Structure 1
């Protein structure tokens, strides 16, 4: 057997004015057939698993591109052409292929191409008509007909935060192997839940829903069950939540189970989602907690959803209220990092921090303090993967607010983003993290309370605050019952 593997991943916020260029891929992670020679990150975990599994079976492995960029606006036309072109060129050079496995994102949009994953998989299918084609996707994907038509297997992360990347990689390899040897004949069907929302899978009704998905996979002939949560900050017609079921040669079963599961999710829509307090409400709630660190998520400045990562709204409010014993990060400000590098550790300087990138960034904050530490080429964990942080500065303001500033745009995943710089989070009253949900599990373990906050910014988590132009408003919560005129009762 001959296996071809590659990764191309970014999550596109079509509302963002920040273009995603080839340089953005180079800044974060760009390797040309060598990714498995380095420690894994979230989107290369699959490549490591697939290579290890294939080589254990004596398969030939051709490894192609691994390209990852932090979410922002559309990938430029030239960058997309180069990245897609490298994968296609490597496919052409590889010769006869039996299995093609790609770790993609599912919400990548380029200039002139709204469905990059569908475009890539269609091109792969045209070149490899008889190969087994499987793709792994982030659950914040847009599941499209082009992807379903081109692929034999589509499997998404089940967990948000994403701590199951390796599990899903093993799953897709096993199914691809069984397909290639003729043991199974996968067919798939999807169901549009008519919902757009965010779903934290670690607690409550959504935890039960994921467990139900896993239980369904134990039923006869059901090979895989995935839920595409969708990526809300993309103004595209196919944005939304969809169920995907893969069965062994039974399309009717796949369609029925997908519909059954989708109807269950819609019926539980109020239980599996939440509304988020604004900044005033969140800070008032934080002030009532006296028994340990409170973590406040600055959700709307999450660079992992395409926000600038340098918004100052929370910092300004912390300073205005005279709050002390606070740690906050990550602030993406390469200029401030450069000034700190020039001044050196131990120096006392005044920084003009944040508020630089776009209108959603707010205003810069002039703040005086001491450069406590500078570290280069450090990282933070997301599940088993180690994600880069670039050059990081611990800047301690005169009022006792500890700020983590870096020059690589990325959200907070893990307490080590602060602690490896020397900040003892256990002694803090308030920890402000620029993140949506990925921080949740490790930070919940060290805090007395986690508060999710709809701060001002580019990626407001309250869906009704997103102003769509191209996406029809035939979904919940834009309308209470988008199925109202259909025969199915909910």
Structure 2
């Protein structure tokens, strides 16, 4: 059996000030047919895993595009169309194929395309024909559209947030399309629109148990897969919002009954599954009261993984004004500060202006006396089974003993390597502040006495009840208590 595969995506914050262009994809590496060889620890890891699974079964993989850009604003039309057309050209050249696996995001928006994934899947279907199974893996923060569901045979999204199960879900998609191609199953999908907008951490209850409940139905009584797409709240498109869908073997009514049942169960948990971030003042009080163990604070609104600029100074300024000294903070995307540190060199002391470079949502720059402790030219971290470049990384220490990480490639914090790769000690530190929403959790939680989420200002605010959309309707929870009569 010949399986065609492609990896293409980004997560679009439609209000972000920085558009997504060719350079953003090229920064992570754009590969056409050879990412599994040239970038096996980066985004080529998905193709490596597909090749491994196929080899076990005696199948072959035809590898097409691998292209990913870190979340930012709307993708330029020419960028999306070029990469999309490369996939279609490669598929046309590879025909006939017996199955297609697409690793996408689900929240990619381009100029002229509200639903990039739906457009791509439809074009793949035109080339592959009606009988070739098309399987799609999506990020958990996806917009699931009718066009996507109409074009694909099986759509599966990650179950975990943070996304620790990316390769597991890819294996799930692979097995579904292979079994369909071998005529062992006939996947049909039913969707339940939850009419909710928010974020739901699967590391705590009751979300932990709800994920396990979804999984408990899979592989039994004809149920093939259950997915809960949390949606991406900062992408303003008609299909924004949380949705739950079930894939069954040939019985759509059974799939719909289970989707509705689980959707109702999730709705009933709404007041238990969402915990709003704490204000900055409350976070500072907790930092001051720290006596033993490590408190990890997440600067959730300045998460580059949601399209923020990762240079806001609101928490840093509050910490300095409060005299918080034994702490680690980062990472700040600040090209100018890094350039000054590189020029001064390791060991130099200087007055440095940090952050606040990208507009009102970044706050004002902070001026602080620092010593340059380390400069790492090819700094990186690992997360979600991929290697993420941080460009040039710099460690500076304030006169009071606060350690601050700077970088030249905008990225959220995934792992301790973002700090430890610069030489910053984390063990035993009373306070660590990470610019991330949740993907830091798997790496940092083992260090922490407690993990706290801080509601500082920023471009990905989590005040969902006050969010207002232009492209989708505003009849959603928590903005509306009972959207469309939900009880």
Deviation at 1:117, TM superposition (A): 0.3
Q: Distance in 1 between matches of 2:138 and 2:51?
A: 18
**Secondary structure at the residue paired with 1:204?**
coil
Q: Distance in 1 between matches of 2:336 and 2:245?
A: 45
Contact 1:42 1:165 in 2 (8 A): no
1:206: which partner in 2?
207
Q: What is the CA distance between 1:470 and its match in structure 2? A: 2.6
- Report Cα offsets for 1:66-85 as digits up to 9, x if no partner: 11111011001111111111
Count of residue correspondences: 486
Distance 1:227 1:43, change over 3 A: farther
Q: Which residue of 2 aligns with 1:66?
A: 66
TM-score of the superposition, structure 1-length normalised?
A: 0.96
1:139-198 superposed Cα distances (whole Å, 9 cap, x missing partner)? 100011010000011011000000001111111111111001000010101100111110
Q: Any residues of structure 2 matched to 1:158-177 within 5 Å, and which?
A: 158-177=159-178
Q: CA deviation digits over 1:23-43, x for unaligned, max 9?
A: 001112322222111455675
Q: After alignment, is 331-340 or 295-304 more displaced?
A: 331-340
Q: Which moved more, 1:351-360 or 1:475-484?
A: 351-360
1:450 aligned onto 2:451: yes
User: Which shows bigger deviation, 384-393 or 37-46?
Assistant: 37-46
Residue deviations 1:393-448 (CA, integer Å, cap 9, x gap): 11112221111000011000111211121111123221110000111122111011
Find the counterpart in structure 1 of residue 125 from structure 2. Answer: 125
Inter-CA distance 12–194: structure 2 relative to 1 (3 Å threshold): same
Instruction: Give the aligned partner of residue 36 of structure 2.
Output: 36
Q: Give 1:239 deviation, angstroms.
A: 0.6
Does residue 109 in structure 1 map to residue 109 in structure 2?
yes
Query: Which residue pairs with 1:219 in the alignment?
Result: 220
Taking the aligned partners of 1:134 and 1:308, their CA distance within structure 2 comes to 33
User: Runs of 5+ in structure 1 lacking a partner?
Assistant: none
Q: Equivalent residues in 2 for 1:317-332 (5 A)?
A: 317-332=318-333
- Aligned partners of 2:36 and 2:433: how far apart in 1? 34
Q: Larger deviation: 197-206 or 369-378?
A: 369-378
Structure 2 residue 440 is matched with structure 1 residue 439: yes
Name the TM-score, length of structure 2 as normaliser. 0.97
The worse-fitting range, judged by mean Cα deviation, of 461-470 and 227-236 is 461-470
> Which residue pairs with 1:238 in the alignment?
239
SS of the counterpart of 1:435? coil
- Verify the 8 A CA contact 2:331 2:406 in the aligned structure 1: yes
Q: Tell me the distance in 2 between the aligned counterparts of 1:480 and 1:45.
A: 43
Q: Please list, as runs of the form range in 1=range in 2, the aligned pairs for 1:411-426 lying within 5 A after superposition.
A: 411-426=412-427
Could you tell me which residue of structure 2 aligns to residue 17 of structure 1?
Answer: 17
Q: Distance in 1 between matches of 2:260 and 2:286?
A: 40
> Any idea what the Cα deviations from partners look like across 1:216-255, whole Å, max 9, x if unmatched?
1132100000001000011122111101100100010111
Q: Which stretches in structure 2 are left out of the alignment for 5+ residues?
A: none
* Change in 2 beyond 3 A, CA 1:417/1:51: same
For the pair 1:401 / 2:406, whether they are aligned, the reply is no
Residues 345 and 465 of structure 1: CA distance in aligned 2, closer, same or farther (over 3 Å): farther
